[in-house]
Structure 1
Amino acid sequence: MPSSSESAGNEVDISIDQAVEHALGSVRSGTHAYEAKLDSSEVGRVKSVATGVAKVTGLPAVGFEELVAFPNGLFGIAFDLNPEEVSVVLLGNYWDLQTGDEAKRTGRVMDVPVGEELIGRVINPLGEAMDDKGPINCAERMPIERAAAAIMDRTPVSEPLQTGIKVVDAMVPIGRGQRELILGDRQTGKTTIAIDTIINQRDQNVQCIYCAIGQRASAVAKVIAELEAHGAMAYTTVVVTEGNDPPGLTYIAPYAATSIAEYFMYQGKDVLIVYDDLTNHARAYREISLLLRRPPGREAFPGDIFYIHSRLLERATHLSDALGGGSLTALPIIETEAQNMAAYIPTNLISITDGQVYLSPKLFELGVLPAVDVGRSVSRVGGKAQRKDYRKVAGKLKLAYAQFEELESFARFGTRLDTTTQAQLEHGKRIRACLQQGEHAPVPIDAQIALLQALGDGKFDQVPLADMGLAEQSLYSALNADTVDARGAER
């Protein structure tokens, strides 16, 4: 019979064996439950760095326009895919990037945050805040390059987009979903036309996007200050690249801004986007192409310069009711040199857009503001983008103004004119006086209709030219008084 000490030893051995068996069972179950996960990533090395462009080796499976990640949060877009190396356009401060640094594939294309959180904000094309209102937290992102809506998903442009600028609304009307080019020489008021249009969208249920492409920081700050002063930032998003930003960032700016605008369009809203200006965009793309050793063409621009603008502006449209009925109206701005509308970039964009508003430096010097040259401006949508009552009073205005300009040129030779011709000249001078307008002072559509009706009926023909401004303001005051009286009667 075993002693008490022996039985106690046996119990200890059994408890140790049970503990060991339990531990081994836990290890076995944990081993079976664990599944090894392999995270494969393709990593290359920077071969060389130039102005905004990097050559990378070791990324054989990278896709065209795929996003490539570099150290310190720097990203780039794969532009040229060669068997030996990949040319990557850098999208940020590349001063710290050196030869031999890692370059990783991300497996996705360049995208931008979209959503209501962007309203009233100033951002760069990467979606990073450039104002002092804190970080931007958007739940949704959209790629900056997206296919334009199919033809069957579109409807004809028929609803007007009022700019508040009398000469534009009367003679070069713009519809919701249209692409209307604004062009002219430097310092002729191109940006002012666009900013006044944005200011006029207040209480019109139109979301606005202003895209500053390669502009001076002081010029962008002035535009933002004007928008804030008129309460327009409450419905506007500003996308900014400055003149000293890398060319890659300038290149993607309009595409990023368009994706932000498309988000609102597919929500069923009417959207207005201003590209200021596509001349800088074309120059940035030319710089990138030359750095990538692509063959230059006319004026050293690459052969696909037309394509980069056409695929951008084709995204402006008026969607069908099945897709929400939203619209995206584009106002691209370009700069001409010495009034040369036949230069390479202007002719490209004139052929892409649905018309143009041309600003003449001669009219600007004469003080005819806004300096819209009616003879060289056109809207291919025409009266379909006007209200019926507006079209009725403005229908013959452009023809009468064109005839007046011809007569005025003829009268400069000192020719004796009959009474009828002199009356036409005086009437034309009053048309020109009525169409003049100060900056950031948009005129409501009802006031414009009343003004053009009075002008067409000859009510201003006896008013001296020097008093035309006072006569116009008197008309507006009387119209406002009638409106107030009408509201009081309704109450």
Structure 2
Amino acid sequence: MSKTDSLAAVTPPQPHVGLHSAGQFEAWRERLLAMPAPKPVITEVGKVTEVGGGVAIVTGLARALADELLVFECGVHGIVLDLEPGRLGVILLGPSEFITLGEDVRRTRKVVSVPVGPALLGRVVDAMGHPRDGLGPIEAIAETPIEAEAPGILSRSAIFKPLATGLKAIDAAVPVGLGQRELIIGDRQTGKTSIAIDTILNQARSEVTCVYCAIGQRGDAVSRVIAALKKGDMMVRSIVMSAGDEETPGLAYIAPYSAMAMAEYFSDQGQDVLVIFDDLTHHARSYRELSLLLRRPPGREAFPGDIFYVHARLLERAGQFTQEAGGGSITALPVVETQAENLSAYIPTNLISITDGQIYLSPRLVRRNQFPAVDLGLSVSRVGGKAQSRTLREVAGNLRVTLSQFEELEDFARFGTRLDDTTRARLTRGAAVRTALRQAERDPMPAAEQLAVLIAAMEGLFDALPEEQLSDAISRIRATPRKRFQFIGERISENKELSKEDRDRIIIAARTALSATRSDQTSYTDGGSYGPDA
């Protein structure tokens, strides 16, 4: 039946004189009675009995489900977190000031979902996927729930491809692989976010898509991250999600799950994705705040008993997946903050046990102006050399041993003990290698340049060089692979070892660069061509 016929069937004839008879009216009445009765629509309506602090207590919705999305009369959304007889504990995804006692609450029969698709690349969004950059609406392909079951063992494959961070200290001694979960841990102001951002910037040399999730960060800090990504031409391949500290704790709680859902879309398309969670300490505190407001029983450090599961079900969704499961990968770099170098605190130990290794940033190295402040003694990658190219693995194999021996001798030498020539040589070599691992922010280094610098350091070419000349010497050595040794990049891309002839050629080129550095320094000191009067 067409729309016109349907309207005619239910619209009675108008009683104009001489146009319609009683028979026509009876025929209309019979058609109306023959039509099926519309199905009744049942709408469940609850009431707000308590509200405040980012949570609300709702009654009257006995059929509501866990994690279901509710809509308050004022337009604010909430998620059912607690199911108790006669009451629901709801975390709010908007300001609680807009909600009044006795306000109506309705079910949506849906869970929290976020938009996914390529249209999100280059955008800044909130935890619900709404744009925050003023560039208009996002034309998403679909919406997907933020909670998803982690892929099983049969959907995963071994981690074998490296994810280059561009940082010598990490790529050489603590390699990260595609699909790995590597924790970045350290005290405040030790450079945790800088390592994460440099890793994203280094993906300009790869095809990895990046998602940066800022949890509880200040607005100016997120703005600096966005500016760095734009300057490094990585914003067009990145998604920035921000759940600031001024927003409701419910948004901070769902933010990492929303970021992971967006990453899973690209992974299902066979792409490699890097996800940064900065940081999960704020996420745990937000969940603790919500749990205490909902009167859940507190445990250690007042965290609820399921805090381990909160992070485990998030990070277990990362991994390297088989071709049957899409063939993509999700690499997770969660950030966690420690206090006074206490690695045995509750949240840090939880995350250390969940992840596949940790990069520990030491305040002691920060005080020595050693950046990045990676403590190789406490940092570990449980994937190890499987996610490292053979070229770099061969050169960096003795790096950790050299530095550990140097630190032990350095502590011993502080007592003023007389040292023999061999011990002094080891101290000099160790100090030069540690200084060679220094690297400026926002300057990720290609693997070929890292290789040349590490070979020069391990061969002792920096031993007799003053520290103030080392930066210029490293710059000259970094330029050497770009100019003369394209074969280094080929060896790395083909995952082949360097031959003795290749290694000798790199050492000769490094000596030449260092000779140029010394001659320039001498010319400047003597008032030569680089002197003040030039």
Q: In which range does the TM-score fall when normalised by the shorter chain?
A: over 0.9
Give 3-state SS (helix, strand or coil) of 1:274's partner. Answer: strand
Query: Which residue, out of 315, 337, 340, partners 2:342?
Result: 340
Map 1:281-300 onto structure 2 (within 5 A).
281-300=283-302
* Alpha-carbon separation, structure 1, partners of 2:440 and 2:150: 37
Instruction: Identify if the C-alpha distance between structure 1 residues 345 and 264 changes in structure 2 by more than 3 Å, giving closer, same or farther.
Output: same
Hey, what does 1:361 align to over in structure 2?
363
Is 1:278–2:284 an aligned residue pair? no
* Alpha-carbon separation, structure 1, partners of 2:349 and 2:60: 42
* Alpha-carbon separation, structure 2, partners of 1:336 and 1:313: 19
User: TM-score with structure 2 length normalisation?
Assistant: 0.85
Hey, what does 1:5 align to over in structure 2?
none
Is 1:268–2:290 an aligned residue pair? no
Hey, what does 2:258 align to over in structure 1?
256
Hey, what does 1:142 align to over in structure 2?
144
Is 1:157–2:159 an aligned residue pair? yes
* Alpha-carbon separation, structure 1, partners of 2:209 and 2:37: 50
Give 3-state SS (helix, strand or coil) of 1:67's partner. Answer: strand
Identity %: 50
Give 3-state SS (helix, strand or coil) of 2:410's partner. Answer: helix
Q: CA deviation at 1:253?
A: 0.6
Q: Is the 8 A contact 2:448 2:488 kept in 1?
A: no
* Alpha-carbon separation, structure 1, partners of 2:182 and 2:360: 10
Hey, what does 1:3 align to over in structure 2?
none
Q: Quick one: which amino acid aligns to residue 354 of structure 1? A: D
Q: CA deviation at 1:456?
A: 2.7
* Alpha-carbon separation, structure 2, partners of 1:372 and 1:40: 60
Hey, what does 1:198 align to over in structure 2?
200
Is 1:182–2:175 an aligned residue pair? no
Instruction: Identify if the C-alpha distance between structure 1 residues 27 and 201 changes in structure 2 by more than 3 Å, giving closer, same or farther.
Output: farther
Q: CA deviation at 1:465?
A: 3.0
Q: Quick one: which amino acid aligns to residue 238 of structure 2? A: T
Q: CA deviation at 1:35?
A: 4.4
Q: CA deviation at 1:94?
A: 2.1
Give 3-state SS (helix, strand or coil) of 2:79's partner. Answer: strand
Query: Which residue, out of 308, 311, 314, partners 1:309?
Result: 311
Hey, what does 1:123 align to over in structure 2?
125
Deviates more, 1:359-368 or 1:446-455: 446-455
Query: Which residue, out of 91, 95, 98, partners 1:96?
Result: 98
Give 3-state SS (helix, strand or coil) of 2:377's partner. Answer: helix
* Alpha-carbon separation, structure 1, partners of 2:125 and 2:280: 19
Q: CA deviation at 1:215?
A: 1.0
What's the CA shift string for 1:356-377, capped at 9, x where partnerless? 1111112111111111111111
Hey, what does 1:242 align to over in structure 2?
244
* Alpha-carbon separation, structure 2, partners of 1:232 and 1:103: 42
User: TM-score with structure 1 length normalisation?
Assistant: 0.93
Map 1:63-74 onto structure 2 (within 5 A).
63-74=65-76
What's the CA shift string for 1:67-125, capped at 9, x where partnerless? 11112321111111111111111111221110111111111111111111110111111
Hey, what does 1:212 align to over in structure 2?
214
Q: Is the 8 A contact 2:481 2:488 kept in 1?
A: no
Q: CA deviation at 1:453?
A: 2.2
Q: CA deviation at 1:40?
A: 1.7
Is 1:438–2:440 an aligned residue pair? yes
* Alpha-carbon separation, structure 1, partners of 2:305 and 2:428: 50
Q: CA deviation at 1:20?
A: 4.8
Q: CA deviation at 1:295?
A: 0.9
Q: CA deviation at 1:210?
A: 0.5
Query: Which residue, out of 450, 466, 469, partners 2:468?
Result: 466
Query: Which residue, out of 49, 58, 61, partners 1:59?
Result: 61
Instruction: Identify if the C-alpha distance between structure 1 residues 465 and 266 changes in structure 2 by more than 3 Å, giving closer, same or farther.
Output: same
What's the CA shift string for 1:166-207, capped at 9, x where partnerless? 101111111111111111111111100100001111141101
Hey, what does 1:451 align to over in structure 2?
453
The two structures, once aligned, show a CA RMSD in angstroms of: 1.9
Q: Quick one: which amino acid aligns to residue 279 of structure 1? A: T
Hey, what does 2:398 align to over in structure 1?
396
Q: CA deviation at 1:222?
A: 1.5
* Alpha-carbon separation, structure 1, partners of 2:231 and 2:39: 56
Instruction: Identify if the C-alpha distance between structure 1 residues 17 and 106 changes in structure 2 by more than 3 Å, giving closer, same or farther.
Output: same
Hey, what does 1:109 align to over in structure 2?
111
Give 3-state SS (helix, strand or coil) of 1:363's partner. Answer: helix
Map 1:12-27 onto structure 2 (within 5 A).
20-22=22-24, 24-26=26-28
Instruction: Identify if the C-alpha distance between structure 1 residues 44 and 441 changes in structure 2 by more than 3 Å, giving closer, same or farther.
Output: same
Q: Is the 8 A contact 2:270 2:327 kept in 1?
A: yes
* Alpha-carbon separation, structure 2, partners of 1:18 and 1:338: 92
* Alpha-carbon separation, structure 2, partners of 1:118 and 1:235: 9
Is 1:225–2:227 an aligned residue pair? yes
Q: CA deviation at 1:430?
A: 1.3
Instruction: Identify if the C-alpha distance between structure 1 residues 29 and 440 changes in structure 2 by more than 3 Å, giving closer, same or farther.
Output: same
What's the CA shift string for 1:365-423, capped at 9, x where partnerless? 11111111111111111111101111111111111111111111111112222222221
Instruction: Identify if the C-alpha distance between structure 1 residues 203 and 38 changes in structure 2 by more than 3 Å, giving closer, same or farther.
Output: farther
Q: Is the 8 A contact 2:165 2:202 kept in 1?
A: yes
Q: CA deviation at 1:42?
A: 1.3
* Alpha-carbon separation, structure 1, partners of 2:443 and 2:184: 19
Q: Is the 8 A contact 2:52 2:96 kept in 1?
A: no
Unaligned runs of 5+ in 2: 1-16, 490-534
Q: CA deviation at 1:216?
A: 1.1
Structure 1 stretches of 4+ moved >2 Å: 15-35, 453-466, 483-487
Q: With a CA cutoff of 8 Å and minimum separation of 6, indicate the structure with the bigger relative contact order.
A: 1
Q: Quick one: which amino acid aligns to residue 440 of structure 1? A: R
Is 1:82–2:120 an aligned residue pair? no
* Alpha-carbon separation, structure 1, partners of 2:90 and 2:487: 66
What's the CA shift string for 1:286-341, capped at 9, x where partnerless? 10111011111111111111110111111111101222221101111111111111
Hey, what does 1:405 align to over in structure 2?
407
* Alpha-carbon separation, structure 2, partners of 1:486 and 1:387: 12
Q: Quick one: which amino acid aligns to residue 438 of structure 1? A: A
* Alpha-carbon separation, structure 1, partners of 2:376 and 2:487: 37
* Alpha-carbon separation, structure 1, partners of 2:269 and 2:263: 10
